């Protein structure tokens, strides 16, 4: 079992460029999440998907879109990157929304 995988691990974008972060899990989990973590801070929820076919906004959704492609995959898209989106992005999954979450290794994104 690979658990939760994320690609890419690192990315540098120029302001205004777009990109999609990919996430996949092989644990047959129903719920998936995208977080960002800024230096010295905890995780802030961007979007989550409680189950296949549903997505909901978290605490900081502006500037992002998501797609729950199937039960395994949950992607995060930045349509027009801004320097304020420089952060480490974590994808996570859980069996249900109130169960423990398993995190991917993270994507370090820098927007210049």
Partner 1 sequence: EDKVVQSPLSLVVHEGDTVTLNCSYEVTNFRSLLWYKQEKKAPTFLFMLTSSGIEKKSGRLSSILDKKELFSILNITATQTGDSAVYLCAVDCGKSTFGDGTTLTVKP
- CA 39 to chain centroid, in Å, comes to 17
Distances (CA, A) of 38 to 25, 68, 70, 85: 24, 24, 29, 9
Number of residues that bind partner 1 (CB under 8 A): 23
DSSP structure class, residue 61 = -
Site for partner 1 in 48-77 (CB under 8 A): 48, 56, 58-59
Q: Which of 24, 89, 93, 104 binds partner 1 (CB under 8 A)?
A: 104
Decide if 66 contacts 45 (C-beta within 8 A).
no
* Closer residue to partner 1, CB minimum distance, 2 or 41: 41
**Residue 79 Cβ vs partner 1, minimum distance, rounded to whole Å:** 23
Is 41 near partner 1 (CB under 8 A)?
Answer: yes
Q: Token match 């605490």: residue?
A: 59
* Closer residue to partner 1, CB minimum distance, 14 or 28: 28
Decide if 92 contacts 31 (C-beta within 8 A).
no
Binding site for partner 1 (CB under 8 A): 33, 35, 40-45, 48, 56, 58-59, 90, 97-106
């Amino acid at each position: 079992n690979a658990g939760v995988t994320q690609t890419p691990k690192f990315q540098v974008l120029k302001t205004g460029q777009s990109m999609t972060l990919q996430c996949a899990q092989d644990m047959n989990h129903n719920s998936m999440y995208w977080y960002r973590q800024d230096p010295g801070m905890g995780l802030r929820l961007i979007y989550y998907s409680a189950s296949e076919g549903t997505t909901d906004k978290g605490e900081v959704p502006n500037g992002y879109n998501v797609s729950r492609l199937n039960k395994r995959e949950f992607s995060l898209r930045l349509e027009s990157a801004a320097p304020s989106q420089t952060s480490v992005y974590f994808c996570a999954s859980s069996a249900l929304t109130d169960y423990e979450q398993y995190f991917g290794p993270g994507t370090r994104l820098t927007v210049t």
